[in-house]
Amino acid sequence: MENRIRQNVKNNLYKAAISYSFLLNKRIILKSPNFEQNNTYIIRFFKSNFAHLTGVKTTLLKEQFYQKCLEQNLDDSDFDCDSSNELKNFVKIKLRHLVNISEIFKNGVFVQESFKKGSIICNIATSDGKCTIGFVDAKFHLRPKTILDKNCLDKESKIIYVVPIIE
């Protein structure tokens, strides 16, 4: 049973890396006159953010982990996804959305500035209704910090629908 779970996670890591690769070297621009803090947000995805978004634990360097996922040559010792039920569920939820991450910005998304959920604090968060991605400042752009299940935007705060520009 554990081997089946680990193999399933590994297969989903491979799919997620391929989907994530379509966002690398792209600028995703979110523009709206309705934003209050900035008129425009530029989002960038980097290899170094992938491992954190997956939820798995690894001792590999961040870029090395991403590369091994992309090349589909992870060893079982390269990651931990099943040391506890909590970790298994955490990874399962994150990967469910990461395997389709390249599709999220192809259509409009809901955007919320100054996003907070529990201990998670982000400059903005986006949601397609199925998941929420939080972004934090990386000087000249925003980078992904978290991916959450379902729409976690605060319905009590301003939410703006934006069609992203992908360059």
165-166: strand order across its sheet: 160-162, 109-117, 120-127, 131-137, 142-149, 40-43, 28-31, 165-166
pLDDT, tens only, 106-159: 999 999 999 999 999 999 999 999 999 999 998 899 999 999 999 999 999 999
pLDDT of res. 148:
97
Q: Percentage of residues in the chain with pLDDT exceeding 90?
A: 89
pLDDT, tens only, 44-62: 999 999 999 999 999 999 9
pLDDT of res. 2:
60
Q: Identify whether the C-beta of residue 26 lies closer than 8 Å to the C-beta of residue 167.
A: yes
Residue 88 tokens read as: 């298994």
Entry pTM: 0.94
pLDDT of res. 95:
96
Query: Is a pLDDT exceeding 60 seen at residue 1?
Result: no
pLDDT of res. 143:
97
